[in-house]
Structure 1
Amino acid sequence: MTAQVNYKWATLGTGVIANELAQALEAMGSKLYSVANRTYDKGLAFAQKYGIEKVYQEIDEVFEDPEVDIIYISTPHNTHITYLRKALAAGKHVLCEKSITLNSQELEEAIQLAEENKVVLAEAMTIFHMPIYRGLAEIVQSGKLGQLKMIQMNFGSYKDYDMTNRFFNKKLAGGALLDIGVYALSFVRWFMSETPTQVVSQVKLAPTGVDEQVGILLSNDAGEMATIALTLHAKQPKRGTIAYDKGYIELYEYPRGQKAVITYTEDGSQEIIEAGETARALSYEVEDMEKAVAGHENTMHLAYTRDVMAIMTKLRQDWGLIYPEEE
């Protein structure tokens, strides 16, 4: 690990991602310092599982703990801004699970708070930290693939058609866009040379009123275009294709990708690019966050997070999809 300081991490939430965070820190020779959870008993069980020394009786105690350096927030989307306000105002660095907020207005408020309190705020967007993407960026910047023309993205999950689960629950900010679309849009933003300026879409709403299936077409002033297909009730390959005039890149399982194939237009020859390990996805995020906190290097890409949130905010405005917290 580049950072020399042994930062004390707290997890706010005890779900799947919190477990992965605990495991990632252990693999790096460290461990979570503390756990905060809405239900104390769940927090206690989580702490016992990973040998965590501190569990808070009340969730807000994590913000007041002077020992905590970085808080990882992995609660439902609609709770993020409440916890971000408290954490950032208390001078804590924050790595927040995607989607970082519900909309751009909330994100701008959080960014301002981070700036005022001189702390690092970042979204835990795996794509920005997997080594394969940095390797591909170097290839793209070399010019060997020519100019970007078109990006095609697919992400389909099969979720049981249960309107009470979080994916379809409007009260938990459900829907395809904030849950899986954020990955596809972050991928597009990573490879586009400029932010998209034209965004149009089609949406199929679930009975609860959240977006169940979405088609998105984006373009920017450089003439680069992207198409995105999302669904929560049909399996699709998690596939990204980036087409340049001299070749195209293909990635499967792209949120935590470790392998890409480049096919060259002129002769059809292929090049396989491999970098990083899918299993280490959370470790890469932790390492980059600690470098940013230490002031060594900030590769958290908050500007990209901002662009993606602006697109998602516009799309939901177009659809008339408003969450209870936004009313």
Structure 2
Amino acid sequence: MKKYNWGMIGTGWIAHEMADALNKVNGEIYGVADVNAEMLNKFAAEKHVQHTYTDADAMIADPNIDIIYIATPHTYHYPYIKKALNAGKHVFAEKAITVNAKQFDEVQKMAHDKGLILTEGLTLMHMPLYQKVHDLIAAGGLGDIHLVQVNFGSLKDYDPKNRFFNKALAGGALLDIGGYATAFARSFLASQPNVTLTTVKFFETGVDEQSGIILKNPQEQMAVMALSLRAKQPKRGVIAGTKGYIEIDNYPRATEAKVTYTADAHESTTALLQAGNADDALVYEVQDMQRYIAAGHDDGQLQLSHDVSHIMDNVRNAWGMKFPFD
């Protein structure tokens, strides 16, 4: 298999985890960029990175780099994605890949026109368990899918200055954690929702602190989501059909799913699906990204990101919540 050189932008906690995954898969990391030279050099020494750049543009321009990995705050994703694609680089960007659907549609078209792979770092798109879940559903194991329920709640410290609550940095529960829930919901709906019902509690900075969201598609399948940045919830998803339901805990990095078959209203049997290792979530991302490049296509992952981006725009529009850059 071809060796791929990755260049990383950002040295935060998720970049540390991605660096470990890259070293596990590839045995090395070509480059990393950060404007903070002290943090940059510490990161490079700890993660055995070969080249450092205090200017991300210089790293993007390096002809030896094949893939740009973006782990910056949300608002910087869009400009860096465009620069990387224009430089002929494949791009792996952390979620949320862009802050709105308009930005997403532009970079999706750019990647398509240039024949480059653009992928979003939503772990649940890459966990091996989900292939088994989708295979079971495709084989009719749950009958007709009627309802998806999914929760994600974090308990962030009360700090109006933190990026999670900063409107100028695209803060709020929807873009920070809602991508996981929305991707889960969309994955198990037969088509893109055309009805959005939602209510929101705003944080004092004007971003969404918590929300309830109901989606319905033309087949009248429904998804119900609950999100919060100030109340911890279990990360739990349920897919319910006419013959049974599947429960998935810790769904962003899930390794098992409990299947309950409901032959009638009174009797049921259960089974357990298992696959993967939660600690290898980002290893699967790296492996998939490199496989996509080698194959020349991404197994439909960017289309899922497209649908998620448009759903989240519809939700924010229903709230009347705009970012300064919308």
Q: Tell me the TM-score normalized by structure 1.
A: 0.96
TM-superposition CA deviations, 1:251-302 (whole Å, max 9, x none): 1111000011001112311101111110100011111110111126523511
Distance across 2 between alignment mates of 1:296 and 1:201: 38
Contact 1:128 1:300 survives alignment (8 Å): no
- The CA distance in 1 between the partners of 2:28 and 2:183, in whole Å, is 29
2:301 equivalent to 1:301: yes
**Is 1:272 matched with 2:280?**
no
Number of aligned positions between the proteins:
323
Residue of structure 1 equivalent to 2:48: 51
Q: 2:178 aligns to what?
A: 181
Q: Is the 8 A contact 1:10 1:71 kept in 2?
A: yes
Q: Given residue 60 of structure 1, which amino acid in structure 2 is its aligned partner?
A: D
1:209 to 206, 210, 213: 206
Find out whether 1:16 has 2:20 as its counterpart.
no
Residue 36 of structure 1 is matched in structure 2 by: 33
- The residue that corresponds to 1:320 in the other structure is 320
Residue 233 in structure 1 maps to residue 192 in structure 2: no
Distance 2:187 2:112 in 1: 24
Contact 2:117–2:296 (Cα < 8 Å) also in 1: no
Measured after TM superposition, the shift of residue 144 of structure 1 is: 1.9
The equivalent residue for 2:81 is 84
Q: CA deviation at 1:29?
A: 4.4
CA contact (8 A) 1:123 1:300 kept: no
**Residue 169 (str. 1) matches residue 166 (str. 2):** yes
Structure 1 residue aligned with 2:251: 254
C-alpha spacing 1:296/1:276, structure 2 compared with 1 (3 Å):
farther
1:109 aligns with 2:71: no
1:86 is aligned with what amino acid?
K
- AA aligned opposite 1:313: D
User: What secondary structure is seen at the aligned counterpart in 2 of 1:60?
Assistant: helix
Q: What fraction of aligned residue pairs are identical, expressed as a percent?
A: 44
SS at structure 1 position matched to 2:271: strand
Q: Is the 8 A contact 2:35 2:54 kept in 1?
A: no
Secondary structure of the equivalent of 2:119?
strand
In 2, the alpha carbon distance for the partners of 1:129 and 1:276 equals 10
> Contact conserved, 1:122 with 1:300, CA < 8 A, in 2?
no
Q: Matched residues in 2 for 1:297 and 1:139: separation? A: 24
Partner amino acid, structure 2, of 1:209: G
1:72 alignment counterpart: 69
**Pairwise CA distance, 1:82:** 1.0
Residue 21 of structure 1 aligns to which amino acid in structure 2? M
Alignment of 1:151 onto 2:148? yes
Partner of 1:224: 221
Matched residue type, 2:189: M
Does the Cα contact within 8 Å between 1:153 and 1:240 map onto a contact in 2?
yes
CA–CA distance in 1 between the matches of 2:54 and 2:166? Answer: 28
For the Cα contact (< 8 Å) 1:204–1:212, is it kept in 2?
yes
| Equivalent residues of 2:7, 2:60 under 8 A apart | no
Instruction: Specify the SS of the correspondent of 2:92.
Output: strand
Q: Which runs of 5+ in 1 are unaligned?
A: none
- Residue 5, structure 1, aligned to residue 6, structure 2: no
Q: 1:142 to 1:237 in 2, by over 3 A?
A: same
Task: For residue 32 of structure 1, report the CA deviation from its aligned partner.
Answer: 1.4
CA distance in 1, matches of 2:257, 2:25: 26
- Contact 2:32–2:40 (CA<8 Å) still a contact in 1? yes
Runs of 4+ in 1 over 4 A off after TM superposition: none
